[in-house]
């Protein structure tokens, strides 16, 4: 058991290094996990402390808390997975392309995948209007919405089919500000985002009053999928705590 925990901890540390190298946010969770696992693996006195020093009630309480935490985490991950294969029905009135990072004036890989998925849907459904949502953040030379539009134009999508929302800085604002530009709450509307982000986006939209909203999943980077899934679980808990879902 000690060896398995130590190996798992080392893997977490290696994963943290790769995430940090590419500037992934929330990567520190893997650093902390790696340290904790290694310490547990090499704690010679852990068994003695657990069985002979800690009172039985403390051991039982600690075990219950850990089990409840694992079960809760598993349930949350199940909800995230439930939205990952989302494919919207055809001929939606609107699609909202949720913004993601722009590197200078080029879309990040995540944003490019959303753009490609949007272009595919718009080509298949010529009566659908796209709302391109996303403001301008640090390191971005243009708004995310403008970057999405520029790429869609290169892919042959007509400018008249696009509405730009260039003020938002979060998923909540993407949805809120987009609803001020078009009747997306009343009409059938699809949300284009990464697969792991679909479930939370739909929950936020329904909380805001979207009546007929559907997820349209764009693929994500397989190498970083474990990180995205863990980060998304914490994001869902945060949204629940602040009353957004």
Q: What is the pLDDT along the chain (245 residues), one digit of tens a residue?
A: 667 777 888 888 888 888 887 777 778 888 888 888 787 766 654 565 666 666 777 767 867 887 898 899 899 999 999 999 887 889 999 999 999 999 999 999 999 999 999 999 999 999 999 999 999 998 899 999 999 999 999 999 999 999 999 999 999 999 999 999 999 999 999 999 999 999 999 999 999 999 999 999 999 988 889 899 999 999 999 999 999 99
* Distance linking the first and last C-alpha atoms of the chain: 39
Contact call for residues 203 and 83 (beta carbons, < 8 A) = no
Rounded distance, CA 173 to CA 36, Å? Answer: 36
pLDDT at position 63 is 73
Instruction: In whole angstroms, give the CA distance from residue 221 to residue 8.
Output: 22
Reading the block at residue 5, the tokens are: 């925990």
The pairing of strands 94-98 and 102-103 is unpaired
Question: How far from 135 is each of 44, 115, 178, CA to CA, in Å?
Answer: 52, 16, 12
Strands (E), the chain: 94-98, 102-103, 106-107, 129-133, 162-165, 189-194, 213-218
Token match 């949300």: residue?
A: 191
CB atoms within 10 A of CB 243: 7
Closest CA to 217 of 133, 114, 148, 129: 114
- In sequence order, which residues have a C-beta less than 8 Å from that of residue 206 and are 6 or more positions away? 213
Outline where 83-108 has alpha helix (H): none
Strands 94-98 and 189-194: parallel
Residue with tokens 């849907």: 121
Contact 163/181 with Cβ under 8 angstroms?
Answer: yes
Alpha carbons 46 and 204: distance in angstroms, whole number: 43
Between β-strands 189-194 and 213-218, what pairing exists: parallel, antiparallel or unpaired?
A: parallel
Residue linked to tokens 């995205």: 228
The pTM assigned to this predicted structure is: 0.86
Tokens representing residue 216 in the block: 């349209």
Contact 149, 162 (CB under 8 A): yes
């Amino acid at each position: 058991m000690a060896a398995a925990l130590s190996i798992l901890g080392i893997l977490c540390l290696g994963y943290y290094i790769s995430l940090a190298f590419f500037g992934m946010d929330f990567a520190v969770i893997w650093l902390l996990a790696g340290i904790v696992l290694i310490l547990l693996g090499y704690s010679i006195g852990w068994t003695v402390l657990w069985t002979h020093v800690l009172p039985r009630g403390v051991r039982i309480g600690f075990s219950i808390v850990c089990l409840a935490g694992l079960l809760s985490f598993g349930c949350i991950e199940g909800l995230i997975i439930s939205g990952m294969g989302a494919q919207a029905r055809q001929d939606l009135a609107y699609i909202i392309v949720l913004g993601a990072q722009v590197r200078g004036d080029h879309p990040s890989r995540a944003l490019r995948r959303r753009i490609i998925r949007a272009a595919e849907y718009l080509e298949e459904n010529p009566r659908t209007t796209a709302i391109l949502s996303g403001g301008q953040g640090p390191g971005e030379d243009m708004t995310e919405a403008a970057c999405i539009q520029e790429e869609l134009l290169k892919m042959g999508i007509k400018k008249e089919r696009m509405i730009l929302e260039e003020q938002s800085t979060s998923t909540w604002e993407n949805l809120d500000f987009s609803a001020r530009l078009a009747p997306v709450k009343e009409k059938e509307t699809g949300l284009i985002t990464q697969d792991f982000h679909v479930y939370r986006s739909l929950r936020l939209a329904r909380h805001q009053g979207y009546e007929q909203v559907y997820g349209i999943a764009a693929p994500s980077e397989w190498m970083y999928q474990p990180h995205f899934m863990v980060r998304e679980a914490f994001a869902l808990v945060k949204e629940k705590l602040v009353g957004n879902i």
